[in-house]
């Protein structure tokens, strides 16, 4: 089981196809050269070539050493190194995907068990790891070398040609690229012009190659739709569902007020009314009871207000508000939230994800420890709540998580859940936003 994005799996393939078509359409655009895409493609290929060479070298070393040492048994673990290393390489490659586009590339890996053993156990049993290994092999053997050649012919060769006039002016006579003798500046300028033409023409194959690489990386390194429990789907942002979500929220507030504070206040006035017509001794007792009821009503209103919009969130932002939530949680929570002030709506939704997540941890997980992590990477806010409990959280059971998904979608975000039976559970929200202006 991996991260399941709410809610309809079948939209995934459509989204994938649109994305794919979009990429190729971008390459075929007439004004491609006016966009930043060729430059980004170039950057993607240059870094890709470097990564490919490093990976190839490491693979050769570890496999050779492993094969040689297998005789002494110590080599066997060395053979597993590529498998393990494929996971962080996948993470690096997902980060590198951002060069090619802003679309987030979520990790396909499910949260790992505790300790190195737990981590290895989880990783070796999931398909995503083996896909990452396949990608590693492809990168080292095919993509890396091909990109090295592409960068050489698409960038280095034309640059050398463009620089020909300088070389000729200095040396008087050169053999350009070891096969083209140039004796005069006129010839050199002709070569330079040709170099510019090659550079411009190379933009297209370079962009195409980078696009193909990015698509392949996306295919192998992000969650696929067909994996068991690993449904990736954009949330259907239906207006009616959003309206419904807010309506449900309003009803909840109204119900809470009606059942809680208002009920207590009516009882309180009744008790005081009785005290007014009672003999002094009895009245004192009734007033004491009324006092107690008033305090309970206050506490209930306080809780309710905190549930609507906590003061600390408005005043101090997400890190402080989450820390406060963690303090109130019966399960120990490790908080690692480092984000700036964000738009109010985003902060509010992120807060409720944590609030609901921790409430679920306390109610259902049986966990001994929970962790909340929040980061703003570029424009993507990621909030994660993980626990070491029994797992098995279900989106379809109860309205909590589904309602939460609606709230997250209201700010154009996505909510993901991974909770295999036996645990652990990871709840993640991703919301695109910019830091709030101070």
Partner 1 sequence: MPAGPSLTVVIAEDGVLLREGLATLLARFGHRVAATAGDAEALVKAVEEHAPDIVVTDVRMPPGFSDEGLRAAVALRAAHPGLAVLVLSQYVEQTYATELLDSGDGTGVGYLLKDRIGEVEEFVDALTTVAGGGTVVDPEVVRQLLRRRRDPLRRLTPREREVLALMAEGRSNAAIARALVVSEAVVGKHIGNILAKLDLPPDEDAHRRVLAVVAFLRG
Enumerate binding residues for partner 1 (CB under 8 A): 255, 258-259, 262-264, 266-267, 269-274, 276-277
- Give the residue with the Cβ less far from partner 1, 209 or 261: 261
- Whether residue 106 contacts residue 217, with contact meaning beta carbons closer than 8 Å, is answered with no
Query: To the nearest whole angstrom, how small is the minimum distance from the Cβ of residue 269 to partner 1?
Result: 3
Query: To the nearest whole angstrom, how small is the minimum distance from the Cβ of residue 235 to partner 1?
Result: 30
- Give the residue with the Cβ less far from partner 1, 58 or 262: 262
- Give the residue with the Cβ less far from partner 1, 121 or 273: 273
Query: To the nearest whole angstrom, how small is the minimum distance from the Cβ of residue 291 to partner 1?
Result: 15
Query: To the nearest whole angstrom, how small is the minimum distance from the Cβ of residue 250 to partner 1?
Result: 14
Query: To the nearest whole angstrom, how small is the minimum distance from the Cβ of residue 135 to partner 1?
Result: 55
- How far is the C-alpha of 388 from the C-alpha of 112, rounded, in Å? 10
Of 63, 231, 220, give the one whose Cα is nearest residue 133.
220
Residue 311: burial class (beta carbons within 10 Å; 0-12, 13-18, 19+): exposed
Of 246, 287, 243, give the one whose Cα is nearest residue 268.
287
State phi, psi for 101 to the nearest 5 degrees.
175, 160
State phi, psi for 174 to the nearest 5 degrees.
-135, 160
Query: To the nearest whole angstrom, how small is the minimum distance from the Cβ of residue 367 to partner 1?
Result: 33
Contacts with 288 (C-beta within 8 Å, 6 or more apart), sequence order: none
- Give the residue with the Cβ less far from partner 1, 271 or 382: 271
Query: To the nearest whole angstrom, how small is the minimum distance from the Cβ of residue 266 to partner 1?
Result: 5
- Give the residue with the Cβ less far from partner 1, 250 or 255: 255
Two tokens, residue 98: 């951002």
Contacts with 67 (C-beta within 8 Å, 6 or more apart), sequence order: 75, 79
- Whether residue 334 contacts residue 372, with contact meaning beta carbons closer than 8 Å, is answered with yes
Three-state SS string across 20-57, please?
A: HHHHHHHHHCCCHHHCCHHHHHHHHHHHHHHHHHHHHH
What are residue 333's DSSP bridge partners?
A: 370
- Number of Cβ atoms within 10 Å of the Cβ of 377: 12
- Give the residue with the Cβ less far from partner 1, 16 or 260: 260
**What is the β-pairing status of strands 333-338 and 370-377?**
parallel
- Give the residue with the Cβ less far from partner 1, 160 or 248: 248
Query: To the nearest whole angstrom, how small is the minimum distance from the Cβ of residue 286 to partner 1?
Result: 10
- How far is the C-alpha of 358 from the C-alpha of 364, rounded, in Å? 10
**What is the β-pairing status of strands 180-182 and 333-338?**
unpaired
Query: To the nearest whole angstrom, how small is the minimum distance from the Cβ of residue 425 to partner 1?
Result: 32
Query: To the nearest whole angstrom, how small is the minimum distance from the Cβ of residue 370 to partner 1?
Result: 34
Distance of CA 428 to the CA centre of its chain: 8
- Give the residue with the Cβ less far from partner 1, 215 or 274: 274
- Give the residue with the Cβ less far from partner 1, 69 or 274: 274
- Give the residue with the Cβ less far from partner 1, 186 or 292: 292
Burial 146-167 (b: 16+ CB within 10 A, else e): bbbebbeebbebbeebbebbeb
């Amino acid at each position: 089981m991996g991260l399941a994005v709410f809610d309809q799996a079948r939209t995934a393939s459509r989204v994938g196809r649109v994305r794919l078509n979009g990429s190729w359409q971008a390459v075929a655009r007439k004004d491609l050269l006016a966009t930043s895409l060729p430059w980004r493609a170039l950057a993607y290929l240059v870094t890709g070539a470097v990564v490919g060479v490093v990976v190839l070298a490491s693979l050769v070393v570890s496999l050779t050493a492993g094969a040689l040492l297998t005789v002494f048994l110590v080599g066997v673990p060395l053979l597993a190194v590529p498998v393990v290393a494929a996971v962080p390489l996948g993470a690096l490659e997902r980060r590198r995907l951002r060069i090619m586009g802003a679309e987030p590339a979520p990790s396909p890996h499910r949260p790992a068990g505790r300790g190195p053993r737990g981590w290895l156990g989880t990783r070796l049993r999931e398909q995503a790891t083996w896909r990452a290994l396949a990608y590693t092999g492809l990168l080292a053997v095919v993509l890396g070398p091909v990109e090295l050649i592409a960068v050489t012919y698409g960038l280095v060769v034309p640059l050398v040609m463009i620089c020909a006039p300088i070389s000729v002016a200095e040396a008087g006579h050169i053999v350009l690229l070891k096969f083209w003798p140039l004796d005069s500046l006129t010839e050199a300028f002709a070569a330079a012009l040709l170099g510019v033409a090659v550079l411009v023409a190379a933009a297209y194959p370079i962009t195409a190659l980078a696009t193909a690489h990015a698509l392949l990386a996306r295919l192998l390194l992000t969650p696929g739709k067909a994996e068991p429990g690993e449904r990736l789907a954009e949330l259907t942002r239906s207006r009616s569902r959003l309206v419904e979500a807010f309506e449900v929220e309003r009803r909840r507030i109204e119900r809470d007020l009606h059942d809680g504070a208002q009920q207590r206040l009516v009882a309180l006035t009744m008790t005081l009314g009785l005290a007014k017509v009672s003999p002094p001794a009895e009245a004192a007792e009734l007033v004491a009871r009324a006092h107690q009821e008033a305090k309970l009503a206050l506490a209930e209103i306080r809780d309710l207000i905190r549930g609507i919009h906590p003061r600390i969130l408005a005043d101090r932002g997400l890190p402080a508000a989450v820390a406060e939530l963690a303090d109130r949680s019966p399960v120990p929570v490790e908080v690692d939230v480092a984000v700036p002030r964000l738009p109010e709506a985003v902060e509010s939704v992120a807060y409720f994800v944590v609030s609901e997540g921790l409430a679920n941890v306390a109610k259902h997980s049986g966990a001994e420890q929970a962790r909340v992590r929040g980061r703003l990477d570029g424009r993507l806010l990621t909030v994660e709540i993980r626990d070491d409990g029994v797992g098995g959280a279900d989106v379809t059971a109860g309205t909590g998580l589904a309602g939460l998904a609606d709230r997250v979608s209201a700010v154009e975000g996505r909510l993901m859940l991974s909770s295999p039976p036996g645990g652990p559970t990871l709840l993640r929200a991703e919301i695109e936003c910019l830091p709030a202006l101070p």
